[in-house]
Structure 1
Amino acid sequence: MVDHGAPGIFAFPAEYLSATALSNTFLKMHQEHRYRQENIHRETLKNQFLLVHHEVTTSDVMHWGQLKLAGQKLSRFLGSKNNPILDHNNPINLHSNHNRALVKTLMHRLIEEVVNDEEMLSKIIRRNHQHDITRWDCYLASVRSFHARCFDIAQNTYALRVLKNLVNLCEHGYTADQVDQATRSVCTHQAYTGII
């Protein structure tokens, strides 16, 4: 289950929901005959775009603001062709890249703390590989520790991208207690929000 979240996690603006909690809720509702049929749709950005696109094409377009501006050339507002702003030097991008690097660095340090072995570290962090989740208890407890001590995953959606490393730790036989101890020693920074 991955949509707005990470492996086995749905992220919401203020909190997250695990796949096991959702599954358990549905099982309980089914046992209590609280619904007859349930249809769950994953909402995606593309679905939202198509909905808005359809609505906008069928709505009346209105002019707002100073109508005299419509007669002016766009180049008047864009500035000189000889003075481009390089995207990588944009202060907003620099700040975002710095924050994302912070998330990656802390996850790297956390894994180092747990495994204490360079070869295993590279296996866990391997970019294109993620194990299927079989050790749910370990993974969800590790996510809770990371969420509580390192980065609030609902407030820092970029942190969702590194949670696959917690899956890999658990699937390589490391325990949630080891991850918890690592978060206590590595994540001593101030609280961050808005790392997207």
Structure 2
Amino acid sequence: MKFAAALMLMLPLIASGRVPLAKTEEEGDIWVVLVAGSDGWYNYRHQSDICHAYQLLSANGIPDDHIVVMMVDDIANNRQNPYPGKIINHPTGDDVYAGVPKDYTGRQVTVENFFKVLRGDSKGLEGVGSGKVINSGPNDRIFINMDDHGSPGLFCFPYENMMANDFANLVMELKENNKFKEMMVYMESCYSGSMFQDLFPEDSGFYALSAANPHESSYAAYCSGPLNTCLGDLFSVSWMEDVESKDPNSELLKENFEITRDLTYYSDVMQWGQTSVENEVVAAFMGGKNSNTSPAKKYSVEERKASAIPSQDVPLVSLQNRLKAAKTLEEKAHLESEITALENRRSLVKRVMEKIAMKVSGDEKLVRDLMTEKQEKITAWDCYGKAVDAFHKNCFTLGQSTFALTVVPTLLNMCQAGYSSDAIVEATKNACVFPTMHNAY
């Protein structure tokens, strides 16, 4: 009789496709990796998003020993922060920094350490940060949330870049080694769709949402206010604010995707990999044990939309806003000179890439074609990886040079057109006769 009664209670949920997450030994655990791959005040939003994600997942019952956080941690106590020791993800939001684990910070936020965390390589991380890793098994689910800048086929870490094919190879290695049942990635970066395109088969157990399609910028959000920077990213705040307003034990990932897609007005949020995972409940990857059933905060859709700007324009818009608010002639003159310097660095980035393309192709018309904004699908991974690495090392440190990322598609176009990596690498050395720049934003 008890079984029959329980079945009757479950029938409406089964009919709606919302099967509650029944935790059993076979179901496994949830493991989480949260990565903010940037530093600096202009990139406030990336660490803010990741801290917010931690608060959400922790409140949903995922314990700290199953959450790994990687962030430089230079925002909360930054000299520009008017709220020392605090980080907010919404203009009227609560502090999201308190209690966040500092597993890997500063120079420890690297691609190598990220891969070691996912592999469960405790020995390789001995004496590094907290040493915490993902000790997952074949019945476990892994949720990865990553926020930073990107370009075609690459996601930036503070001082290096993660190539999409390397990440895909790692995921498939983990799958072959029975390190997860399913893995889900929510990635916030420009061109983030290119991190998954044609790289993950439908039966891989891997599912991802990208903030943008393979050819476009993502957008920052909540960019007006006293902090003179953006508090969040449009994709990130959209998916989190939706999850916080629903019961994760009944909302489907498909619903979260559709709502996030609709709220991320200016870029094309997309699904990748094994999209059938969308039929699982949010709690399967984000927890639901301590689901908050109190009324959700009401966020202004209009405010979110009105304050959004392209990610690469955050430094420029922030300076322009400060200039408008400046009260003294001295302050105005200083900000005007900063804006001029920023615009000069941007002009330099374009000139350098033109020189590289000209050196490689030897034809002005071809240079214009190679510098078109929309790039090819990535197949020449070896050439492209070497070209990106050379541009990063010889010209502009990409993690600190947001605007330089906007010309990286030209490197891909050259590789896809059949030019050799040796020619492109040599061209970067010839064009970049200055010390590698870290502030071309």
TM range (shorter): 0.7 to 0.9
Structure 1 residue runs of 4+, over 3 Å off? Answer: 47-52, 77-80
> Which residue of the partner structure matches residue 98 of structure 1?
344
Q: Which amino acid aligns with 2:364?
A: E
In structure 2, runs of 5+ residues without a counterpart are: 1-147, 189-210, 212-232, 245-296, 299-324
> Which residue of the partner structure matches residue 149 of structure 1?
394
- 3-state SS in 2 of match to 1:163: helix
Q: Equivalent of 1:10, from 130, 155, 177?
A: 155
Looking at structure 1, the residues matched to 409 and 326 of structure 2 have their Cα atoms a distance apart, in angstroms, of 42
> Which residue of the partner structure matches residue 187 of structure 1?
432
Looking at structure 2, the residues matched to 141 and 79 of structure 1 have their Cα atoms a distance apart, in angstroms, of 48
Q: Where do residues 31-180 of structure 1 align in structure 2 (5 Å cutoff)?
A: 31-43=176-188, 45-49=233-237, 90-127=336-373, 129-180=374-425
Looking at structure 1, the residues matched to 430 and 326 of structure 2 have their Cα atoms a distance apart, in angstroms, of 49
Looking at structure 1, the residues matched to 327 and 424 of structure 2 have their Cα atoms a distance apart, in angstroms, of 52
Change (3 A) 1:114 1:36: same
Looking at structure 2, the residues matched to 168 and 26 of structure 1 have their Cα atoms a distance apart, in angstroms, of 27
Q: Is the Cα–Cα contact under 8 Å of residues 376 and 413 in structure 2 kept in the other structure?
A: yes
Change (3 A) 1:170 1:79: closer
- 3-state SS in 2 of match to 1:144: helix
1:47 is displaced (CA, Å) by 4.2
Looking at structure 2, the residues matched to 145 and 108 of structure 1 have their Cα atoms a distance apart, in angstroms, of 16
Q: Deviations over 1:52-93 (max 9, x none)?
A: 8x8xx68xxxxxxxxxxxxxxxxxx9759xxxx69xx82221
> Which residue of the partner structure matches residue 172 of structure 2?
27
Change (3 A) 1:188 1:130: same
Superposition TM-score, scaled by structure 2 size: 0.35
Looking at structure 1, the residues matched to 348 and 235 of structure 2 have their Cα atoms a distance apart, in angstroms, of 32
Q: Which amino acid aligns with 1:32?
A: N
1:126 is displaced (CA, Å) by 2.5
1:181 is displaced (CA, Å) by 1.1
Looking at structure 2, the residues matched to 79 and 4 of structure 1 have their Cα atoms a distance apart, in angstroms, of 33
- 3-state SS in 1 of match to 2:435: coil
Looking at structure 2, the residues matched to 143 and 162 of structure 1 have their Cα atoms a distance apart, in angstroms, of 11
Change (3 A) 1:99 1:78: closer
- 3-state SS in 2 of match to 1:40: strand
CA RMSD of aligned residues (A): 2.9
Q: Which amino acid aligns with 1:162?
A: V
Q: Deviations over 1:18-56 (max 9, x none)?
A: 00110000010011101121111124611444558x8xx
- 3-state SS in 1 of match to 2:184: coil
Q: Which has the higher strand share?
A: 2
Looking at structure 2, the residues matched to 179 and 78 of structure 1 have their Cα atoms a distance apart, in angstroms, of 44
1:191 is displaced (CA, Å) by 2.5
**Greater RCO, CA 8 A, separation 6+:** 1
Looking at structure 2, the residues matched to 126 and 91 of structure 1 have their Cα atoms a distance apart, in angstroms, of 30
Aligned length: 169
- 3-state SS in 1 of match to 2:158: coil
Between 145-154 and 19-28, the greater mean CA deviation after superposition:
145-154
Looking at structure 1, the residues matched to 371 and 326 of structure 2 have their Cα atoms a distance apart, in angstroms, of 43
1:137 is displaced (CA, Å) by 1.0
> Which residue of the partner structure matches residue 64 of structure 1?
none
Q: Percent identity?
A: 28
- 3-state SS in 2 of match to 1:41: strand
Q: Which has the higher helix share?
A: 1
